[in-house]
Amino acid sequence: MENENYQQLTRTFLRLSRFSHLSAIAGWDMFAMMPPGGSAARGEALAELGVLQHQILTDKKVAQWLTAAQQEDLNDDEQANLREMARAHHQAALLPESLVEAKSLAGSRCEHAWRTQRPGNDWQGFSTNLKEVVRLSREEARIRAEAKGVSRYDALLDIFEPDMTSARLDVLFADLKSWLPDLLAQAVEKQSRQTLIAPQGPFPTEKQRESGLEVMRMLGFNFDHGRLDVSAHPFCGGVPDDVRITTRYNENELLSALFGVIHETGHARYEQNLPRQWPGQPIALARSTAIHESQSLFFEMQLGRSKAFLQHLLPIVIENFGIQPAFELDNFTAWNQRVKPGFIRVDADEVSYPAHVILRYDIERALIDGDIEVDDIPALWDEKMQAWLGLSTKGNYRDGCMQDIHWTDGGFGYFPSYTLGAMYAAQLFNAARSALPGLDESITRGDLNPLFGWLQQNIWQHGSRLSTTQLIQQATGEDLNSRYFRQHLTARYL
């Protein structure tokens, strides 16, 4: 048979994708639907499936096919797919099965306990579980680092961002550090002279949900292939044919859930528009977490909080909650562009957001590289929050180092994606604007199709066909840099 080894690989990865489907749906259910008593059995079931997927992916036949397929006559897409297959295999083959299972179980346990420990501000209880997660993540990092000849943290970073290193992150973040604190201070100072009218609640959950669904429709979410639900920590899950996004409602607060929905819809549209011509193949998956975050931040920040878009969001808000002074366009726009340093990353404005990310990056990198221990986290957190945003989290673990879900299941190396995503988003929006001269006018008219068409053309349809570097070069004509992010923040906030 022609390309026999490659064909064997595509069959194996199709099979794996079906197991990933079940894992994605059971994972979504765990966060969005599952009653608390279902947790232990679910954790065990997912760990069992994880072990199976690991076995299939690391089977020595896969290694043989990968080697043999290098000699086969493959077109460019097939070669790209082979590259992604090899990457997935090698990433997995480094880890012993026992570590995969132990990580999955420790992660489920820590995440599940965190759901009640966080509201209870129970750092003691949480840190006990977290230490086990950190121990296993360090073990993973050690194994990966030795195999690749990179630092331990870089070995984990590579899982999420193939082209990224901490050396490169340090350069990008040092650049941000050189101008962002000043820009933040100026923006805060400038806004201190504004008098804004706050939206008055309550905002009934059902109406918030309806607004969210309406804005999803406006943003092109395909409800034939996805749904909106509720979870404690909003996310985008499921599979490309069935994308599950979540949000959370607070009846006293209107915009948090609504912009959460806009953010997750950005993720969802990327997933729903990934290429379909390679079912179950790695080439058809999203490129990386930072590119994923670039899409959600493109929707939430670049598009979502622009006045041009807000004037089309406003009628949805008014339709659901009635007219009130806060819903006058200029006030509504200014309200959605407030810069207000706060404790919570997911509620942060885009100017102070990088502080939250760089703080976590510094801590998780030191933690994985063994320079600090779990017990050191709260003091470091407090020190860095004071330095960046002038806020104290002493004794307030709930709104400090316990606020995020990522570390609970060992997701070290993910946080930088958010700020990389913000930079990518600004760079992409700038490129779209250059490519489409009437873009701002079309958004002002409420026609989002040119913008989405550009994303489809330049990002979504490519899946993992190109490397991140190629993708961004092809879309924007240059490498990732912070220039457009700075331009965007300056234009919007100063």
Is 435 in contact with 454 (CB distance < 8 Å)?
yes
Closer Cβ to a copy of itself, 175 or 242, answer by number: 242
Based on the shown chain and the rule CB under 8 A, indicate whether residue 41 belongs to the binding site for a copy of itself. yes
Among 7, 29, 185, 191, binds a copy of itself (CB under 8 A): 29
Position of tokens 């805060």? 188
The C-alpha atoms of residue 362 and residue 373 are separated, in whole angstroms, by 13
Give the number of C-alpha atoms closer than 13 A to the C-alpha of residue 476, restricted to the C-beta side: 21
Check residue 34 for interaction with a copy of itself (CB under 8 A): yes
Which of the stretches 37-45, 95-103, 110-118, 357-365 binds a copy of itself when contact is defined by CB under 8 A? Answer: 37-45
Report phi then psi at 229, rounded to 5: -135, -165
Is the peptide bond prior to 282 cis by the omega test (within 30 degrees of 0)?
Answer: no
User: How far is residue 346's CA from residue 404's CA, in Å, rounded to a whole number?
Assistant: 9
Instruction: Report the half-sphere exposure of 311 (CA within 13 A, side-chain side).
Output: 11
- The verdict on 52 binding a copy of itself (CB under 8 A) reads yes
Report long-range pairs for 359-366 (Cβ below 8 Å, ≥24 apart). 359/384, 359/385, 359/388, 360/404, 360/415, 361/169, 361/173, 361/415, 361/416, 363/401, 364/153, 364/407, 364/412, 364/413, 364/415, 365/153, 365/166
Specify whether the CB–CB gap between 474 and 458 falls below 8 A.
yes
Q: How many CB atoms lie within 10 A of CB 442?
A: 15
Residue 250 DSSP class: B
Q: Among the candidate windows 16-24, 95-103, 164-172, 211-219, which touches a copy of itself by CB under 8 A?
A: 16-24
Instruction: Decide: is 205 part of the binding site for a copy of itself (CB under 8 A).
Output: no
Least distance to a copy of itself, CB of residue 17, Å: 8
**226 vs 463 by CB, closer to a copy of itself:** 226
Stretch of residues binding a copy of itself (CB under 8 A), selected from 42-50, 146-154, 252-260, 336-344: 42-50
Residues 6+ apart with CB under 8 A from 8: 61, 65
Q: Given the rule CB under 8 A, which of 38-46, 104-112, 291-299, 418-426 is the region that contacts a copy of itself? A: 38-46
Question: Does 241 interact with a copy of itself (rule: CB under 8 A)?
Answer: yes
Residue 49 contacts a copy of itself per CB under 8 A: yes
Counting beta carbons within 10 angstroms of the beta carbon of residue 279, is it exposed (0 to 12), middle (13 to 18) or buried (19 or more)? middle
Interacting residue with a copy of itself among 4, 11, 40, 174 (CB under 8 A)? 40
Mark the segment that binds a copy of itself (CB under 8 A) among 192-200, 222-230, 402-410, 434-442: 222-230
> Per DSSP, which regions of 231-367 are E strands?
236-239, 242-247
Q: How far apart are CA 237 and CA 246, in angstroms?
A: 8
Q: How far is CA 60 from CA 64, 82, 95, 128, in A?
A: 6, 16, 14, 37
Asked if 22 is part of the footprint of a copy of itself (rule: CB under 8 A), the reply reads yes
Q: Computed from CA positions of residues 127, 129, 133, 138, in that sequence, does the dihedral angle turn out positive or negative?
A: positive
Query: Which residue of 1, 149, 224, 491 would you call a contact of a copy of itself, by CB under 8 A?
Result: 224
- Smallest gap from Cβ 152 to a copy of itself, in A, equals 32
Render 177-203 in DSSP notation, one character per residue.
Answer: HHHHHHHHHHHHHHHTT---PPPP---
Question: Interaction with a copy of itself in 332-351: which residues (CB under 8 A)?
Answer: none
Pick out residues in 452-481 that bind a copy of itself (CB under 8 A).
none
- Using CA atoms, how far apart are residues 269 and 358, in angstroms rounded to an integer? 27
Whether 282 contacts 84, CB under 8 Å:
yes
Q: How far is the CB of 19 from a copy of itself (least distance, A)?
A: 7
Q: How many residues bind a copy of itself (CB under 8 A)?
A: 34
Residue whose CB is less far from a copy of itself, 76 or 224: 224
Q: Within positions 401 to 440, which residues make up the interface with a copy of itself, using CB under 8 A? A: none
Q: Is 72 a catalytic residue?
A: no
267 is in an annotated binding site: yes
Catalytic residue among 132, 161, 264, 300: 264
Q: How far is the CB of 2 from a copy of itself (least distance, A)?
A: 25
36 is an interface residue for a copy of itself by CB under 8 A: yes
Nearer to a copy of itself by C-beta: 225 or 483? 225
- Is 59 among the residues that bind a copy of itself (CB under 8 A)? no
Compare residues 109 and 356 and give the one whose CB is closer to a copy of itself: 109
Take residue 87 and report the two structure tokens written for it.
């990457």
**Residue from 33, 167, 318, 329 binding a copy of itself (CB under 8 A):** 33
Nearer to a copy of itself, 206 or 330 (CB): 206
Note whether 212 binds a copy of itself by CB under 8 A.
no
Residue from 9, 172, 239, 351 touching a copy of itself (CB under 8 A): that is: 239
**Count of other CB atoms within 10 angstroms of residue 76:** 8
Q: What is the dihedral of CA 211, 354, 381, 377, to 10 degrees?
A: 90
- For a copy of itself, which residue of 242, 253, 362, 399 counts as binding (CB under 8 A)? 242
Does position 213 bind a copy of itself by CB under 8 A? no
Q: Does 222 bind a copy of itself (CB under 8 A)?
A: yes
**Could you give the residue ranges of the DSSP H alpha helices within 118-219?**
123-148, 152-160, 166-191, 205-218
List residues with catalytic annotation. Answer: 264
Q: Which residues are annotated as a binding site for Zn(2+)?
A: 263, 267, 293
Binding-site residue numbers are 263, 267, 293
Contacts to a copy of itself by CB under 8 A: 15, 18-19, 21-23, 25-26, 29, 33-38, 40-42, 44-46, 48-49, 52, 222-227, 238-239, 241-242
